[in-house]
Amino acid sequence: MTIRILIADDHLVVREGLKLILETNSRYTVVAEASNGVEALQLADAYSPDIILLDLNMPKLDGLATMTGLKEKGHDMPVIILTTYNEDDMMIRGLALGAKGYLLKDTGREMIFRSIEAAMRGETLLLPEITDKVFAKQTFEKTTVPSTTANISITDKELIVLQAIARGSRSKEIGLEMGISERTVKAHLTTIYNKLGVDSRPQAVAVAVEWGILHF
């Protein structure tokens, strides 16, 4: 099955470079390119792509506002953020909004493919260098603020699962590491989501960092 991709970035050279890389693989086709957030929303409506590669800093609407707009329009295709090293706060907020991963703009071909494939499976793949940098900085505008965290009780096993998904590990890999079934891992995830008030892995990681449950 061909994966239809929308690239949204205000730099033509970035869009063209990504397009050239993606179309070396017959599995991917770039159906549209947007130079700003408004265009990205319009093209998402027009083409209904399978996945969006989205820059954080764009004119008219930035990446975060564009993600919010996609949700308001009822789009649920996965979004992978295109980023540089100086966007820590926005990266955290992007996770909280449901981004399926991040790609540095100089990321190699194979990692681009891996990230897209993970996102299409509903998984999150975070590059270690991004994870280390983003979660080292924890002063950012809160997207979800609990009235209190005193009643949040995360078990040791749930914490291990949280740490693993922050590294981008799959449920099967986590199960092998912990010596439990993949089904049990998913049950832990469901419990974690309920405790944190989220519904995805990226949101769970973002909220856990915000609340001081995870430390990197």
Contact 107, 118 (CB under 8 A): no
- C-alpha 87/C-alpha 181 separation (Å) is 37
pLDDT at residue number 17: 93
> Is residue 101 located within the same domain as residue 186?
no
Domain membership of residue 176 as a residue range: 156-210
Question: Does the residue 101 lie in any domain?
Answer: yes
Provide the CATH number for the domain around residue 112: 3.40.50.2300
> Is residue 114 located within the same domain as residue 167?
no
Say what angle helices 128-136 and 88-96 make with each other, to 10 degrees.
Answer: 100
> Is residue 71 located within the same domain as residue 167?
no
Contact 31, 5 (CB under 8 A): yes
> Is residue 126 located within the same domain as residue 90?
yes
**CB contact set of 182 (below 8 Å; sequence gap of 6+):** 171, 172, 175
pLDDT at residue number 78: 93
Residue 181: count other Cβ atoms within 10 Å of its Cβ.
13
DSSP label of 55: E
**CB contact set of 185 (below 8 Å; sequence gap of 6+):** 161, 171, 172, 174, 175, 178
Structural domains counted in the chain:
2
**The tokens of 172 are what?**
């099967």
> Is residue 127 located within the same domain as residue 184?
no
Question: Does the residue 143 lie in any domain?
Answer: no
What are the average pLDDT values for consecutive 10-residue runs of the chain, which has 216 residues? 94 94 94 96 96 92 91 91 71 76 83 89 68 50 43 83 82 90 92 87 78 70
pLDDT at residue number 46: 97
> Is residue 123 located within the same domain as residue 185?
no
Q: How far lies 58's CA from each of 62, 73, 142, in Å?
A: 5, 19, 22
**The tokens of 196 are what?**
């944190």
Question: Does the residue 142 lie in any domain?
Answer: no
DSSP label of 2: P
pLDDT at residue number 147: 45
Contact 132, 88 (CB under 8 A): no
pLDDT at residue number 104: 82
> Is residue 88 located within the same domain as residue 119?
yes
Provide the CATH number for the domain around residue 161: 1.10.10.10
> Is residue 106 located within the same domain as residue 175?
no
pLDDT at residue number 128: 57
> Is residue 93 located within the same domain as residue 64?
yes
pLDDT at residue number 169: 80
Q: For the whole prediction, is pTM greater than 0.85?
A: no
> Is residue 119 located within the same domain as residue 196?
no
pLDDT at residue number 143: 41
Question: Does the residue 132 lie in any domain?
Answer: yes
pLDDT at residue number 127: 61
> Is residue 165 located within the same domain as residue 125?
no
